[in-house]
Amino acid sequence: MFEQTFALGRILRYNQVMISTRSSAPSEALLIERIAQLEERKAAIAAEQSEAVLAFATAHAESQTAAGDVDPEMLERSIAAQVGLACRVSPTEGRRRVRIARDLHSGHTRVRELFAAGRLSEYQTATIVAATAHLSPAERAEVDQELADRRVEALGVRRIHDLTRSLAAQVAPEKFTARCRAARTGRRVSVRPAADGMADLTAHLPVEEAVACYAALAAAVNEVAVQPEPLTRGRGQIMADTLVERLTGQATARDVNIEIQVTVPVEALIDPASPLPAQIAGHGPVPVQFLTTGGGRRTWRRLITRDGVVIGGDSRSRLFTGRLAASIRARDGHRCREPYCDAPIRHIDHIHRWKDGGRTEFTNGRGLCAFHNHVREVPGWRAETAPTGIATTTPVGRTYTSTLRPHTGEGVPQIIAG
C-alpha cells in the first residue's frame, strides 16, 4: 500500500509539473522539481527491472531443470549472460544484477519498498545488498529494519555502506569475521587502460598493508623534498615514479626493461605527419612518436595494420597459437568479442566449431573472455558467422550481432553490437 500510494503521488506531481511547463516557461523551482521527479522515476524503473530479472531467472531455471539434469554453475552463467546481453552490459554485471535481485527479495522488504518508490537509487540499493550478501534472510531482515528506522534514504552512499556493514557485523559477528578473512585471499593487482596513453595500476590489499605501502611512498616525497636539487615534480608524480622504481628495481621509472606489443598503422610509418596513433595491446592509443623517443630500455614488437585490420594467416593446428593468436587478439582490440563485454581476451574460440569441421584460421577465430568461452558450452548457445559479423544466439532465441570494423580516422578496430 505504501509503495502504490507513494508512486501515485509521484505521478500526479510529475503531471502537474509537465502541464505547467507546457503552459509557460518553467521556473527554476519547477525545473529542479522535474529533475527530482525524473530521478525518482529512474530508481522506480530500476526496481521494476530488478523484479523482471528475478522473474526471468526463476522461470529459466525451472524450464531448464524440467528438461533434465543441469549443472547449477553452467545454468547461472547462462542466466547471467542472457541478462547481460538484454541489459547491454558485461556478463559480470549481468550476474551481479541477478544476485542483487535475488537477495533483495530475501529479507530486504523495507529497502525494496524504498527502492520501488524511488527514494533509494539503484546504486544505494546495490550497496546495501552487497554489504549483506553473506547473511541469511532472517539476518538481512534485522539489518533491513534497522536501516529503515534510521531513515537510510536520507544518507549518502558512503554512510550507507559503513552503516550497513556495521549493522551486519553486529547481527552476525562470526560471519563478518569469516568474510573479512576470506576477502584477504582475494588480494590482487590489476591494470586498466586510461585516457591519453595512461593506465591505472591497482593493488587490492589488506587495509594495513595498503596503508603501509602508501605511507612508504609518502615518505619518499619527504626524502626528495630535502635534497639540494630543485624540486620539479609534484607530490603525486614523485609517489608514482617511486612506485615504478621500487617495483621494477630500476634506477629511474623510465628505465624499465620490457617487451611491449604494439600495432602501428602503415600510414604512420609512411607519413611522419600522419595523425593516426599506435595501439598498445589492450590499453588503447598512444602517439607514434612516443615509441621512438624518450629513455629507458623498452622493446616494442610491432604489428602493422591498414584501416584497422591486422593481416592474419592460416594454421592446421586445433589451437590458435603464436602469430595467428596474436593477430586475432590485436584485431579484436584485446577485448572480448561478445557484445557489451569489455573483459580481456583469455581464449581464442572457433566460430565454426573445430569438432564440426571449423578450421583454425584467422577468419574463423574470435577472442573471448573466459566467461563467454565457457558459457558457449551451455546447451542452447550458438555462434555463427553472419553477413554483418558474428551472431550469437541465446537459449531463448535472442540473437546479438557483433560487427568488427575500423573506426574512421583512427585505424582502431571497433566492435559494434546490433
Give me the mean pLDDT over the 154-183 stretch: 89
Domain ranges of the chain: 2-185, 188-248, 257-418
pLDDT band at 297 (very low <50, low <70, confident <90, very high): very low
pLDDT band at 402 (very low <50, low <70, confident <90, very high): confident
Rounded to the nearest 10°, the torsion over CA 68, 69, 71, 75 is 20
Residue 308: CB atoms within 10 A of its CB come to 21
Question: Between residues 170 and 317, which one has the greater pLDDT?
Answer: 170
91 within 8 A of 372, measured Cβ to Cβ: yes
Instruction: Write out the three cell numbers for 43.
Output: 530508481
pLDDT band at 139 (very low <50, low <70, confident <90, very high): very high
Q: What share of the chain is helix, strand, coil (3-state, %, to 5)?
A: 50, 15, 30
Number of continuous H segments (helices) and E segments (strands) in the chain:
14, 13
- Is the pLDDT at 107 greater than 50, yes or no? yes
Give me the mean pLDDT over the 237-263 stretch: 71
Q: According to the 3-state scheme, what is the secondary structure of 211-252?
A: HHHHHHHHHHHHHHHCCCCCCCCCHHHHHHHHHHHHHHCCCC
Q: What is the per-residue pLDDT for 406?
A: 38
- Is the pLDDT at 97 greater than 80, yes or no? yes
pLDDT band at 100 (very low <50, low <70, confident <90, very high): very high
Q: What is the per-residue pLDDT for 409?
A: 36
* Alpha helix ranges (H) inside 24-104: 28-66, 72-87, 91-104
pLDDT band at 149 (very low <50, low <70, confident <90, very high): very high
Find the helix packing angle between 28-66 and 109-116, rounded to 10°. Answer: 130
- Is the pLDDT at 404 greater than 70, yes or no? no
Scored b (16 or more CB within 10 A) or e, 174-213 reads eebeebeeeeeeeeeeeeebeeeeeeeeeeebeeeeeeee
Contacts of 362 (CB under 8 A, 6+ apart): 312, 313, 314, 324, 327, 328, 331
Cell 524503473 -> residue: 45
pLDDT band at 69 (very low <50, low <70, confident <90, very high): confident
Q: What is the per-residue pLDDT for 314?
A: 39
pLDDT band at 407 (very low <50, low <70, confident <90, very high): very low
Q: How far apart are CA 163 and CA 174, in angstroms?
A: 18
Give me the mean pLDDT over the 33-61 stretch: 95
pLDDT band at 12 (very low <50, low <70, confident <90, very high): low
What residues are paired with 263 via a beta bridge?
A: 279, 303
Give me the mean pLDDT over the 13-42 stretch: 77
pLDDT band at 3 (very low <50, low <70, confident <90, very high): low
Give me the mean pLDDT over the 177-181 stretch: 85
What pLDDT, in 10s, does the model give residues 351-383? 888 778 888 888 889 999 989 988 888 888 989
What is the maximum alpha-carbon separation in the chain?
Answer: 77
Scored b (16 or more CB within 10 A) or e, 146-164 reads bbbeeebbebeeeebbebb
Question: Between residues 17 and 146, which one has the greater pLDDT?
Answer: 146
107 within 8 A of 141, measured Cβ to Cβ: yes
Q: How far apart are CA 273 and CA 287, in angstroms?
A: 11
> Cα 406 to chain center, whole Å?
23
Q: What is the mean pLDDT of the chain?
A: 81
